Amino acid sequence: MEILGLLDTLESIVLDSAKIPFTKKIMVDEEKMLSIIDKIRLVIQGGGDFARKAIVRGEAQEAAPESPEAERRPQTESKAVEVLEQAYQMAKEIREGADKYADEVLANLEATSTRILRTVKAGRDRLSGEKNEKS
């Protein structure tokens, strides 16, 4: 189960990475990727020791009497979820802005290319017209 979470993390890193224009390539944070890959290796080699340790830790925390830390944990987790949601929203807005900018650049390129093609066609038509007049 731990490995699926790590694979999800790996996938989200790839999907959220910066894209290189005009290619299907992306730029990723090498340290993050290698760290996740190392964790996956450890889970596979350890045969799930991480899961066992997490269960033991969870049982120990449940057995411990209520402490200020235990009371703060739900608040901290909800704050973490809120921060993650904000980060995903911000990333979505950035991607949308980048897409809009790329669309504007491509539209400008298309308009410029169209003008150049018209000029080339007009030049060729003129040259072929001059050839016909000389004949």
Domain that holds residue 75: 71-135
What distance lies between CA 103 and its chain's CA centroid?
19
33 with 85, same domain?
no
Q: Which of 31, 64, 97 is the last residue of a domain?
A: 64
4 with 59, same domain?
yes
Does pTM surpass 0.85?
Answer: no
Count of domains observed in the chain: 2
DSSP bridge pairs for 19: 26
Alpha helices (runs of H) in the chain, residue ranges in sequence order? 2-15, 30-46, 49-63, 68-134
35 with 82, same domain?
no
Digitized pLDDT (tens) for each residue of the chain, 135 residues in all: 577 888 888 888 888 889 988 888 999 888 888 888 888 888 887 765 544 554 445 545 544 555 555 566 677 778 888 888 888 888 888 989 899 999 999 999 999 999 999 999 999 999 988 877 776
Q: Which of 64, 86, 111 is the last residue of a domain?
A: 64
Gap between the Cα atoms of 42 and 2, Å rounded:
11
CB of 28 closer than 8 Å to CB of 14: yes
